[in-house]
Structure formats: C-alpha cells, structure tokens
Structure 1
Amino acid sequence: MDERWQLLDRPSEFEVVHQALTSGDTGGVVLVGVAGVGKTTLARMVTGTLSRPVRWAACTQSSQAIPLGVFAPWIAPSASRDPLALLGSARENILAQPNSVLGVDDAHLLDQLSATLLHQLAVDRSARIVATVRNGEPVPDAVTSLWKDGYLERVELTALTKQQCVGLVESVLRGALEGLSADVMWESSGGNPLFLRTMVEGALEAGTLTKVNGVWQLRGPTAVPSGLAALLDERLSRAGDSVLDALQMLALCEPLDLDILIGLVGEAAVDAAEIAGLIRIGRDGRQISARFSHPLLGEVVQGRIGTASARRRRGRIVEALREREPGTAADRIRLARLYLDSDQAADTALLSSAAKDAIFLSNLSLGEDLARAAWERDGGLREGELLARALLWQGRPGEADAILDRYDPDTLDQLELVQWVLPRASLQFWSLGDVDRGRELMRLMDTRVEYPPLRLVGDAAAAAMTVHENRIAEGIAAAEKVLAAPDAPRQAIDFAAFAAGLAMPVAGRGADFEPIAARSRAEKQPTDGMIRVMVRYCDVLALTTVGELDRAEERATEYSEFSSTAQFLGWAIAKIAVGVVAIHRGRFREAVTTFEQALAALHAETSLPWQLPARLLLVRAYAALGDVSSAERVLAAADEHAGPHLALHEPQRLIARAWLAAATAGRHSAVEFARKAATIAAGAGQYALEAEALHHATRFGDRTHAARLATLAGRVQGPVAGMYARHAAAIADGDTEALDAVSVEFEQVGLLVSAADAAAQAIPLHDRAGQRRHSAQASARALRLAARCDGAATPALMATSRPLPLTAREREISAHVARGRSNRDIAERLGVSIRTVEGHIYRACTKLDATDRDQLAELIWHNPIQ
C-alpha cells in the first residue's frame, strides 16, 4: 500500500520540480508546505525519475543540535575543529559524484553550519538541490536566502482539493469511496495527505473503514481524530511493545546506527518497525542508519517517554556508542549530550573535548553546557578555564571571573598559571575595562613563568593589550617577535596574529599582514575559535587599507559564511567585517543593516567591546545617508565604550564625530574633528588612519594637507594614500584636471564616495573658469557615483547640488538653528560666544531674506545645505 500513496497526481508541481533539477535557470527547488502536505513524497518521486545520482540528507531535531550534524556522515574522520576545514570535507564528499542531486528533508531543522554548506552549494551551483521546508517553523537565514535571493526556486505545496483527496484514497483502496465517508475524510484531514494517509491506514487497522457492497465506508468515532498527533498516537498504540521500544530508542538519538539499534532492541523489532512504515533504513555516508519515516512520528514517540525512562534508555545508547571511538567533533558532541541526560556517569575528558568542539564550531551556548557539566564533575582548572572562556565570549565576564576566582594562583604550576591568567586578565582588561588589574595579572605570569614557550603566550597576549592602548609600534614589535619565534606554541601565534592584525592595517602595513593572515588560515587546529574569527576580521581590515576591496569582500563573504548565530560573537564580528567593506565601497544602506544586525547580536549582560568599532562605522553610514538623529543615537551609545583599554579606536571616534558634524552642515567642526583624529593617529603611529582622517578633512573643504599626505603616501602601503595625496594637491592647486583624474582613480579601486566627492569638488572650479561643458560632465559624474552610493549626502555633493549663499560657519550655525537649538546651546557646542552666534544668524537671515529664526529654520529644512 505504501507505493499507492505516491500516486498523488500533482502534474504541475511535478513538472516545476523536474525542470528545476534538470534544465532550469536556478540551482534547484525548495518545496514549502505544512507538515504532511507531501513535500518529501513529491521530491522523492521526481528524483526517482532522474538519471543523475541523488544523495539524501534528512534533518532531525537531534541533528540540529550538532554543528554540521546532518552532513556528519560525509565528513572524513579528522581531529580538526576548524569550521572551514569541516565544511570543505563535507562538501568534497557530497560532490564526489559529478552532476549529482542533493536532497535535504526538513531543511528548517538544519544547524547553522549545515545551512551554510547548503547555501554555498546553491550559490556556486555545485549540485542541483531539492529541499523541503515546513511552514510555520523558524528557518535559518541561510536557507531562507536560497529562494529569496533566487538561488533556488520556491514551490508552495498546498492542501489537496476534495477531488484529489477522493481520487487518492480510491486509488489506494482500489475501489469507490462512499460520498459521506469522502466528506468526513476531506473535512477531517483538511486536505493534508499525511493526515489522510494516517486516517485511512488507522481506520483500516481498527476495522472502522470497511468495504460494503463494493463501496468503502468509514464508520466509528476513532476514524475522525482531531489532529495528526492523535492519529499517529493511535497508530503507535497498535504497533506492539517491541516496535514501540525500537521507536523510543530512535526518538532519543536519531539517526541511529542500524547495528546499534538492533543490538539495543533486537532485529525483529527493527524489521517490524520498518515493515510497518514507521522507520526507514538508509546509508548515511559510511554507515547504515535508521530514521523515522516522518519527523512527526519522532515528536509523538518522545511524548510517550517519561524522564526516568528517557535517562535509562539514553544510558543504554551511551553504553553501545562508547564502544566505538568517536572519530569526529559531531560524534563527540552527540555522545556527550547523551551522557548529560542519561543515568551514566559522564566522562569528564569527553565532556571537555566536546565543549571545545562546540565552541570552535560556533555554538557557545552548547559549549557552555558541556563545559559546565565537566567542571561540576571535576572542578579542575582545565574545565574551569574552558567554562570561563565560553562565558566570557557570551558577554558574561562577572560569571567567568567568579569561576576563575575559585583557584589560588599560588598553588598553580607554570602551565596552569598561564591557563588561569590569560582568560582572567583578558576579561579584566577588555570586558571590564580595568587596565591596571589586567596588567597586574600579566605581571604575575611574567614573574613566575620561566618556560620559554609559555612566556611567548604571555608576550602575545600583552602585545594585544598594548595595541589596544594605542601603543602601535610597541605592540607590533612584540607581536612580530612572537611570530618569529621557532618554538612559539599555537596559542601564542593566535594571539600575536590578532595583535598584529589590529595594528598593522592602521599603521600603514596592511600588506605586511597578508603572510600572517595566510599562516592563520592554514592552521586547521586553532587554540581558540574566537581568536581565529578576530584574525579573519583583521585580514579584511588590512585588505581595505591597501585598497584591495575586491579581495576584502571575497574574504569577508567567505568568513561570514561559516559563522553561526548560536555563536553570536563570531557571527557579529564576521558581520562587522562585511560592514567594513560596505562602508569603504559606499554601500551605506547595506552597512546600516549589517552593523545594526551585528550590534543586536552583541547585546549581552555586559556590553561587548566589539560594539565600539561597529558603532563608529555605523555613525558614518547614517551620517552619509543624512539620518542625523540615528547617527547621534549611535554615537551616544558608543560612549559606553571608552577608556585606555580602547584607546586604539579614538581616532575612529573622532572621524565619526566629523561625519556627524558634516551631516549637520558643520563643515568647520567636521574639519576640526578630522584634524584631531589625524593628530592622535599620528602620535600613536596609526599612519594609515592619519592619512584617512586628512582625506576626510580635505573632502570637507580643508586645503592644507597636501604636503603631509605626500609624506604619508611614501609610508603607507598600498595605492590609496597616494590617491589621497593627489586629491589634496589638486584641491590646494585648484587643478580640475587632477581632480577629474583622481576621481577616476578612486572609482577604479572601489572608493566610490571619494570619487563622487572629487568630481563634485571640481564643479565650482570649472564654473569659475567658465568651463560649462566640463562642469556639466563633473556634475553628471558626481550624481552618477552618488546614486551608486545610495544617494550619499556628503558636504561636497550637497554644496554643488543645492548651494546656498552662506559661509561655512553660517551654514553650520543655521543647521543648528534648524534643529531647534538655542543660541546658548549652539555657542557651547561650538566654543564661541553667544554674540558671535547671533551675528552669524543675523547675516544668514539677511542673505536668505528670512525675517527671524523660524523662517531661517524652515529654509534650511527645505533647502539642505550639508
């Protein structure tokens, strides 16, 4: 009878799916519908007609809890915990057969890394894909993107019509169905094929659906259940104790190796469950596994298992699984999770190893659970440090510090002292902003640790702190010393790469960081997954400073694909890297969305310091779009992250203030903020950022920085600083040809807003020279480039599009008037006297023929002067 249920006639949907998997413009299809509507049936019917090889992966609630869980059978045995390496292994094995089709059942249950892999396969069309998604369930963003971004075609499967219901049942029963019975089935099932099938099969088993005079009739209350769960539950009641035993084992650990399931419940029970259509047996990569024939069966079965029984059953599964060495991270996590909820005494070493796996595979909450379980069983420093690290990364430094405070450093040996000091000093320095306490802890390690490799670990962490204190040259030198040491352990290399990666780009040595980034990318077994994420951010930052925006965008996209929302910090940092590139390219709306998402993910009990660089760049994006109130809101929020432990970011804070001032027509203030940023950057050795700050000042109308930028062009790696210098020289000389040329240069490297500003700044020079044609060309170019930057409203662009006959100071004060500020408030903000403010307002009103402040404000709002 099973095969007859697949005779459902959906010709139009069948053709759409077949076309998508054979010759369609997309890479496949996603079938969407409620549970039981026939998504899997249709998908398997279509793939059964294909000549291509088809590989199926079925997602479950159990596999969802394990990073890359559903694709674990395709991951080669390895000790690697690196997400990119594991993704690569799964991808290679899935695509081992060319021209293949990948089927994914219940893709809404994919874990984040598996969803990422599926998304990658769809984007580059490595394989045709057919996936099913249940309506009404949360779906990973990577899966939703499959149809929203046009990679796969979305097909909504709706309920059957009454005619289809009757036709299906009659084809299965091979006889006519009574009209009244047909009405009952149609109304009770709601046209859901699975409801319908379970109803018919259950009624046949119960004897309430019988053939009378050649016509099938449905009689009796049990044949009209209220919902699918009740129908399945009734069917399970008749399955028999041995079958139910097998199903309950499977419900607690799905999928389950067939041999293990047989060993637990017996061959007869497994065979009976398969013959009854309750489970299906199939090959999962290297092993043959059992799964439920439908995920709802597992949910119903779980409802039949009490807590005590579940603990005992998991214990039996653990006993069977631990006889096999867990070869992959997914295996270790799965076994550790079973241990936690079983009646078996957990293996602390396994829990610790699984906790590391979970953290490195971007699931901090799971890592915390496993690490806490290990720590509560053992209480050792190794387990405590791991738990503290998971808490720290989740923005809970107080809890992390309380864990570490239980250990007496005087009782620790050299290795243990390093394990204890590093996380505690880190949380004191970065999370709590207590620089003195952080440095005190580092000195404790420095005085007591003698073994050279361990000292290098401390030196690398200290280098990262030095960089954050804005002592750039000193921090780089310390990091390079560690990186050059032949006996440096991996933990020292990771920390040193992070320190160098934050310092070298802003110091003008972005190109020098490339081999360090490559070394980090090649390392398949990092000591801390989050440090690896940060180094990857630094890689993107370095590429942007040397003007390699295409490569920066490729890296940012690559790095963001393995991150997971379960690992909110890693996901957020990857998002910030994407936003960095968007800001440089002038894609401000994308930057706003990206940074806001990252900031939302970084919300924690203790605000995470990574919010600061995201907020400062977000201010610039809002300001460029003319959204002053949002820019002010974000800049005010950024004030919570300030102090010597974040001095590295102070030049960026001033650049953000400069852009906000520019957005309020405060060119004079904007130039002053940009100059201050350049001064602080120069004093700290942030030469690339000094050049950028002077470039902003030049775009805001400052003509005095050509000489300094020319000097910096010889010091900062990459072509961008040279462009800044040529732009400043062209502004200083009033050279329209040079401005036009440098505008083209900016566009060629992808700095579109700078290109638009250079073109806009050439317009008044062409006008004064009477070069109307050149002026029109520059204007058209500036507008075209601005449009590609989401209509950016920079001072240069707005001054040329709607000029008002006001001086820079008059513009600035008039903008404050338009924002409803009093003369006293304006004077305090600008550091001038109230009489000076009144004089500028009077002259502005005279020039614009405004009778009072109100008319001046109205003119400003309706005639933007930014």
Structure 2
Amino acid sequence: MLTGRDGLLAEARTALVRADGAVLLGPPGVGRTALARAVVADLPPRLFAEVWITATEASKEVPFGALGRLLTGGHPALHPALVHSTVLAALAERCGSGRTPVLVVDDAHLLDGPSAGVLLGLVQARAVRALVTARSGVPAPDAVVALWKDAGLSRLLVPPLTEDAVGALARERLAGPVSRSTTELLWQWTGGLPQLAAALIDHGRDVGALVRDTDQWRWRAGLAVPVQVADLLDRELDRVGRSGEDALAALALGGPLPLSVVEEAASPELVADLEQLGMVRSEQSDEQVLVRLRHPMLGAAVRRRMSPARRRRVSAALLANSRRAPSTRGPYAMASALWAVHAGQPVGPQELIRSASLCLYADPAASEQLARRAWERGGGARAAIALGSALVEQGRTAEAYEALVAAGRHAEATGDPAAQVTVGVALAGHRAWVGREPRRAYDDLRRLRADAEAAGDLAGRAEAAAVAVLVQLFGGQAARALAGARDLLEQAPPPGAQLRVTLASVAALVLTGRTEEAVRVGRAVVEAVERAGSSALPYARGMAGAALALAELWRQPTPTGPVTDPAAGRWPLPPDPLVSGLSHTAWPVFDGYAQRVSGDRAGAISRLRDAVAQQAGGEGLFRSEASGWLAVTLAEDGRPDEAETVLREHPVDEVALVPGLGPWARAAVAVASGRRARAGELMDEAIVVAHASGCWLVELGYLIYAAHLDPVAGPARYADRIAEAIGHVDAERLVTAGRAVIALAGRNPTVMLEHAHRLMDMNMTGEALKVADEVGRRAGTADSARLAVDLRTRLRAAVPGDPARVAGLTVREAQIAGFAARGLSDREIAEQLVLSVRTVQTHLGRAYRKLAVTSRRELSDALRLAA
C-alpha cells in the first residue's frame, strides 16, 4: 500500500535522520500507519531503535494511558512530575546504549492530555526522535499541535493516492495490466485511500468482480464493501449519531444533493461537522452548492447498514423536497421514482417509465425494477420497451425479446394498432442492435411505416421512419440516412422523432464530409435539448454533445470530447451530477479515436480496449468502431497478433457507423505482418465501400492511409483521387493530411516540410511524422535534411514517453500544462496555440484531475515528479 509514496517516505526518513522527526497527517484509510512502519523499517538498527505507542479511544480516558507500557511503576501510582524521567529511563533500557530512541506514536489525535504533554516535552528536550501519525480534520490535544507549530517537527500531509497511483497499486496486486476505466472506478470509489483501494482490489479478485478481459483486468460488478474495511467505515458512521447518519443516508440514496436539501435532514452545524470530519464535501455547481459523500464506498457502507424504516423515512423526505422544488435534471430527476418506491408512495406508470429510462445505463437492475412495476400498473407498450432495454443492458437478450413479443400480443388482443406499431418498431430495433441485422431491420421498418400510414397513424409512421434513419446510418449508409432524415424533418415529425433524425443527420453530415454544416446543426440541437430540460433524456442530451464533438473532431486540433459515467461508459452523457456520486470521465470510444487521430497510440489503445469491453454488452451501437479502431491502432503499433485477436473475438459486423471499417482493419493487420500487397487490395476494397456509401470524409481518410502504404509510389498513385475527395470535404485536419500526401507526390522537400508543420499545428503528430520521415529520405540539400531531423526530433518528443504522458496526459494536455506551469494565463496559452480559452480551460482541468493538483503552483512539481 506504499505505492505512490516514495516522495513522502524519503521526506519522513530525512526528517528522522537529520532533524527531530515528523508528524504524518491524513484522513482515515490513507495509510499513515503503513507509511510510518515503512519509514522506521529502513532506519539503520545500529544507530536507531524504535518504540511504538498506539493511542486509542480507551486510553484517552486515562491520564498517561497511552504511555502505560513505558511506566514500569504503573501510571496510577506514579506522580505526574516523575513521568517524564520514568519514560526516559524506559526508553534508554529498551534501546540500549549508543542508539537513538525513535518514539513512534500512532493516532496521536487520541492521546490523553498528560501523555501528549510528555511527548511534547521529550521532543523539546531532544531526548528522542519522534514519528507521529494523526488524523486530519479532527480535534487533537494542544500539545500534539505544538509538535509541528512550536517543537519543529516536520508536518507532512499524507494525501489520498492519485488516479495513476491507484492504477499502479492495482497492477501490483493483480500482477498484470488494469484497464483505464477500472482504474478510474477504483480511484473514485475509494477516494484514493490506499487501505480501501487495496481491500477492494483483493475483494474483487476473490469474488470474481475483477476479471481478465481484452488482456487487462476489468471490474465487472457493482460496488461492494469488503469485509476488511467494513468495520473501519462502521466505526466512522457510529460517531455521527442519528441525525448525521440521516444526512449521510440522504446522500447515499440521492447522490450529490443541494446543500439546502441536506440541511433539511440535518442542521447546518451538523453538515459543517460532517465536512470537517471528511465524510462529505461540497462544491459549487452552477448557482447552487452541491454536497456529496467523501467517496462512494462510504455511501455503500451507509446503504448496507440502512434499516428499511430509515430508507423509507429518508426517501419520503427526499421525495417531498423534490416535489416542492423540482429540479429539471440531475439526481432528482433520475431518482425520484425510486424514492417513491422506497417510501411506499404511489407512483404512476409514466413516471416509472421515465425513471427507468433515466437510470438505464447507470443502474440497469433498478431500471428493470421500475419498468416491471410500470408494466404491472398498465404502462403498456412503453413499459415493455423500457423493460426490454433494461434486460438487454444486463445481457438477458432472450428475455428482452420475449417481453417485447408479449407486449405485441397484448396490443393485438386489446385492438391497439398504435401500440402494435410502437412494439414493432422496438422489435426492429432489437433485430438491428442485438441481432446485428440492420438490413432486415430496415425492411421491417419500411413495412411498419407503410402499415402506420395506411392506418392514419402519423406518430407511428414518424417513429418507424426515424428508427429507419438510424438503422441506415449504423448500417454504413450515411448518405441515404441523411436523405431520409431531411425528408422526415420536412414533415415536422413529433419531438422525439425529430431529435433522433436530427442527431443522425449531424453524424451523416460529418461522414459525408460536410463538417461545417454538421457543426452548425449540432450546436443548434445541443442548445435545443439543453432548453428542453427534463423533457430530454440525458442519453439524448449526451448523444447530442457527442454528435457535435464528432463534427468538431476533424476541424479543431483539440475538440472537447463527450463524457460518460465511469461505471457504465457505453453511452455519452451530459455533464449533470451523477446519482452514483462518481465524477464523469471521458467517453472511451470517442476519446480513444481522438487520441489515435492525434498520434497518441498508447493512449488510444488503452481507451479503445475499454471501449471494446463496454460496447460488447447491451445494444453496443459502437461495437464495430471500438474493435476496428483498436485493431488498426494495435497494428500500427507493431502488434498484429493482438490486432488479429481483437478482430477474431470482437469482429466488425454489419452494425457500423463507418463504412469499410472491416477491410481497413484487416489491411492494417496485413501491413504490420509484412503483406503490403494484400493490404493494398483491402484498402482498395474499403475505398470502394466508402465511395458507394457517399461518405467522402471516410473515403478521403482511406485514400490517405492507402497512399502511405507505399511511400515511394503510393502518393503519386492516389494524389488525383485525394484531390477529388478534398473537393467534397471541408474537414480542415483531414484535408491538411490529404494535401500533405499530394505534396509527397510532388517530391519537393520544402513544400513537404511546410505540410508537416501544418499537421503538427493540427495536433496530428502521426501524420506529421510520416511526412517528416519522407522528407528525411528525400532531402536534396543539407538544410532540408537538417530541418527534417529537427522536426522529427520535436515530433517524437510529443509522442508517448515524456514525463507528462507517463502521468496519463494527452499530447495537448501535456502541452497546455507545460505552458501553465511556466506561468502563462489561459488567454496567453490560447493565443499561443490558436485555441479558444474554453478549450484551454477544459484541457487544463483534465490535466489537474490526472495529476491530482488544484492550481498552477502545484503543476510544476507534479510534472517534475512524473519524470
């Protein structure tokens, strides 16, 4: 559990050897005792001898209670004036002559006053070297505080582990690589407390919650409270009393809550006390203060010991408050139906269905519970669809199909044609996303659309048409999907269908090369769903943001990517507070692809492995993209065997947003295996598929890739077709890469270098390196050769391996963090890199989180320590 503590270990040891000692301060579970043991373990035994004293709640009630083992005469009978000399004599006897006594006092905040006074006297007299541990955030005897304020002991704060340190701890205990998403979960669940993290890792391995998947350890279960730490957390909870535990119960059931809500369950003074104890933390969010538990494992401990009566009482209070001041989104909207169920209060089927949809990805088991209750209470087809979605998310696809079939029979028996169409559309979606048969699903939807039109069911017709557009889009037919979307939008469909086809049109516009229009439409739809508030599901709002990010990916060097819940990760979400108490993380499937585009292969591989595992479950709309992009990146990294394994275990199938993805992935494997001729054939196949689908942006990407397969003849062979594709594509980053290939065909080193520099400015390090390498081979003068070497050196310094990247930062995050560490303001950085201030702030915020710092002052040290 000393992973990530090297610096503290060295500081504490130096303080003991060269000065009078140190005080280690930190929250419970942070590993103060383990750190103290490691410090004294390496002291030379011929020079130092340690004596341990542990203070407890029981010893605190007795004068000199903590010093009992050093008071040979028995402390009740000993005069206080003699205690100091008696302790000195006992230490001399235990340590022997010639060795310096090291007095280790564990949990010094629990010392009784007289014992603390003796300790302070020993330190002030320099009779001992002292190593003291104490809990932060709780009162301690004045004499203990005086140890660092007056007596000169070094005050060393023992912080929680960083995310990277938790990952290192997990790798050490599991003896293998750990997925990035699992590291994020372990870190957030435990608050970076090594005692909790180690216990959770061991528990997960023992019960099978941690499994080896896609060559990494991955967490595949809900959060649990290991037996090893249950007592520790229970002791903390025992200290807060009934009112305090009610406040904690509200947070455990409702996620982060407004301060006013928590203060209704407990007085403002008690909330302040809970924050001082380190059990809750507050943060400013928009125009209100949100309060959340210190870490989600504490919430799990609260729920574990929560009686049915307390759950009912607290849920009723939360529900009453939400009805008095309803929130348009966030924890209230997601949890209100669950609160009603816990409180035993009536709740209508429509509210149950909505809540089931809201918690579908975050808690599919709860979603199933709510949807079943809605079905039993007459929720009809919509309830059955919600139930089917929850079952699919849990991998119970056969049950989901049966639930939809049963709903169809019910609609037929009751003579409800609209419900029959609704269920039919859901069954077609099941065939497309679960059965992976988009073509047959599209035929089903065409029949349903015709049936609905014949019956005069305009809403059903629009619903079938909207899903048909999505099926075409994810069947690799972006141009046709775009035409269908525009046709439907001209008919003013209902809001739900309108939102879906508009989102589909944004993605289709990107794939067909019209990114400027895609950005314009994407921004409009994001603004629309934000205005819609509670009427727009978070998954629709999240997908709107993801569609806009996709449009901006090929236009901006560092687009702001979508975020997700680290516990699920399959779907993008808006940045509302999560009811789980976790913080958002980057959406792996997008983040991995964006890092691949920027040249960060290591980062891309890590994120795309997560994406493959996440998309393997549920509907997995982006399953093909995750596995195809991972295989390509692994192959480019010289790992064709791993790439082939990915394609074999997670094949690219018919549900793929990107046409020609399968041949491209196989071509990348062929290149890495030395079969360039076969790779060329496969790339030509991918180009034909992309062209037939009307996806000019995808075709241009494939043409660029194919041209680089043969650096000598390839650029000239594909230059004309690249020029034609550029005429249909306005994505600046990709167009720049295409023009660089045309420059390679021209064989002018000066022009080639200019394009390499443009690619570097566009944060496309991999493409820039390809061009720079060619310049080096073709340089006609000493100057151009020197410039090529200089450029390649700078480019290779930007790829994974530098200190900041080892700490988990992307190329752009490392670049911005470096500028910030040198004192540049956000605006100065933005001007230097030709970015918006908002983009700089976004990347700097991510760098802060990854490096576990909160200010520019700490950045320099954090980057230095990462080296």
TM-score (norm 2): 0.56
Q: 2:620 aligns with which of 608, 611, 616?
A: 608
Q: Distance in 2 between matches of 1:437 and 1:292?
A: 45
Shift of 1:437: 4.5
Shift of 1:478: 1.3
Shift of 1:727: 3.5
Contact 2:473/2:504, CA 8 A, preserved across alignment: yes
* AA aligned opposite 1:462: A
Shift of 1:300: 9.3
1:500 aligns with 2:505: yes
Q: Secondary structure at the match of 1:656?
A: helix
Q: Distance in 1 between matches of 2:295 and 2:766?
A: 54
Shift of 1:667: 2.8
Corresponding residue number in structure 2 for 1:400: 400
* AA aligned opposite 1:447: D
- Structure 2 unaligned regions, length at least 5: 1-7, 12-23, 36-50, 76-102, 114-229, 574-584, 803-867
Q: Distance in 1 between matches of 2:425 and 2:298?
A: 48
Q: Secondary structure at the match of 1:712?
A: helix
Shift of 1:193: 4.6
Corresponding residue number in structure 1 for 2:660: 651
* AA aligned opposite 2:355: A
Q: Distance in 2 between matches of 1:710 and 1:573?
A: 35
Q: How does 1:721-740 map to 2 (within 5 A)?
A: 722-740=735-753
1:34 aligns with 2:43: no
Q: How does 1:439-450 map to 2 (within 5 A)?
A: 439-449=443-453, 450=456
Q: 1:433 aligns with which of 430, 433, 436?
A: 436
Q: 2:571 aligns with which of 565, 569, 572?
A: 569
Q: Distance in 2 between matches of 1:249 and 1:370?
A: 25
Q: Secondary structure at the match of 1:617?
A: helix
Q: 2:653 aligns with which of 627, 630, 642?
A: 642
Q: Distance in 2 between matches of 1:287 and 1:751?
A: 40
Corresponding residue number in structure 2 for 1:691: 700
Q: Secondary structure at the match of 1:692?
A: helix
- Structure 1 unaligned regions, length at least 5: 1-12, 17-29, 40-133, 136-160, 198-225, 237-242, 793-866
Q: How does 1:250-261 map to 2 (within 5 A)?
A: 253=250
Contact 2:250/2:262, CA 8 A, preserved across alignment: no
Contact 1:585/1:750, CA 8 A, preserved across alignment: yes
Distance 1:443 1:636, change over 3 A: same
Corresponding residue number in structure 2 for 1:375: 375
Distance 1:345 1:495, change over 3 A: closer
Q: Distance in 2 between matches of 1:303 and 1:528?
A: 30
Distance 1:386 1:776, change over 3 A: same
Corresponding residue number in structure 2 for 1:781: 791
* AA aligned opposite 1:696: Y
Corresponding residue number in structure 2 for 1:478: 484
Contact 1:753/1:786, CA 8 A, preserved across alignment: no
Distance 1:583 1:430, change over 3 A: same
Q: Secondary structure at the match of 1:554?
A: coil
Deviations 1:618-643 (A, max 9, x none): 1222122212222222232342x423
Deviations 1:161-210 (A, max 9, x none): 9779599987x98x66585399999x9x962757999xxxxxxxxxxxxx
Shift of 1:492: 1.6
Q: Distance in 1 between matches of 2:420 and 2:728?
A: 41
1:191 aligns with 2:107: yes
1:666 aligns with 2:653: no
Contact 2:737/2:767, CA 8 A, preserved across alignment: no
Shift of 1:350: 4.1
1:461 aligns with 2:461: no
Q: Secondary structure at the match of 1:569?
A: coil
Distance 1:675 1:34, change over 3 A: same
Greater Rg, structure 1 or structure 2? 1
Q: Distance in 1 between matches of 2:315 and 2:234?
A: 29
Q: How does 1:164-243 map to 2 (within 5 A)?
A: 165=55, 179-180=67-68, 191=107, 193=109
* AA aligned opposite 2:373: A
Shift of 1:601: 2.5
Distance 1:662 1:291, change over 3 A: closer
Shift of 1:595: 0.8
Q: Secondary structure at the match of 1:777?
A: helix
Higher mean C-alpha deviation, range 323-332 or range 490-499: 323-332
Contact 1:756/1:783, CA 8 A, preserved across alignment: no
TM-score (norm 1): 0.56
Contact 1:333/1:358, CA 8 A, preserved across alignment: yes
Corresponding residue number in structure 2 for 1:710: 723
Q: Distance in 1 between matches of 2:513 and 2:547?
A: 13
Contact 2:442/2:472, CA 8 A, preserved across alignment: no
Corresponding residue number in structure 2 for 1:554: 559
Q: Distance in 2 between matches of 1:761 and 1:338?
A: 64
Shift of 1:782: 3.4
* AA aligned opposite 1:613: E
1:340 aligns with 2:345: no
Deviations 1:733-780 (A, max 9, x none): 4333332332223223222222221222233333xx5x3443343244
Shift of 1:617: 1.3
Corresponding residue number in structure 2 for 1:488: 493
User: How large is the RMSD of aligned CA atoms in angstroms?
Assistant: 5.4
Deviations 1:234-268 (A, max 9, x none): 999xxxxxx97x78866754689999999999x9x
Shift of 1:588: 0.8
Shift of 1:591: 0.5
1:543 aligns with 2:548: no
Distance 1:628 1:787, change over 3 A: farther
Distance 1:336 1:595, change over 3 A: same
Distance 1:568 1:190, change over 3 A: farther
Shift of 1:465: 1.6
Shift of 1:684: 1.7
Q: Distance in 1 between matches of 2:374 and 2:567?
A: 24
Deviations 1:644-664 (A, max 9, x none): x44x53422222222222222
Distance 1:638 1:772, change over 3 A: farther
Shift of 1:312: 6.9
Q: 1:748 aligns with which of 755, 758, 761?
A: 761
Q: 1:416 aligns with which of 397, 413, 419?
A: 419
Corresponding residue number in structure 2 for 1:222: none
Corresponding residue number in structure 2 for 1:829: none
Q: How does 1:110-189 map to 2 (within 5 A)?
A: 165=55, 179-180=67-68
Contact 1:421/1:442, CA 8 A, preserved across alignment: no
Q: Secondary structure at the match of 2:359?
A: helix
Corresponding residue number in structure 2 for 1:619: 631
* AA aligned opposite 1:440: D
Shift of 1:518: 0.7
Distance 1:165 1:379, change over 3 A: same
How many percent of aligned residue pairs carry the same amino acid? Answer: 20
1:358 aligns with 2:274: no
Deviations 1:785-817 (A, max 9, x none): 24533499xxxxxxxxxxxxxxxxxxxxxxxxx
Q: Distance in 2 between matches of 1:264 and 1:718?
A: 53
Distance 1:579 1:366, change over 3 A: same
* AA aligned opposite 1:490: P
Contact 1:340/1:373, CA 8 A, preserved across alignment: no
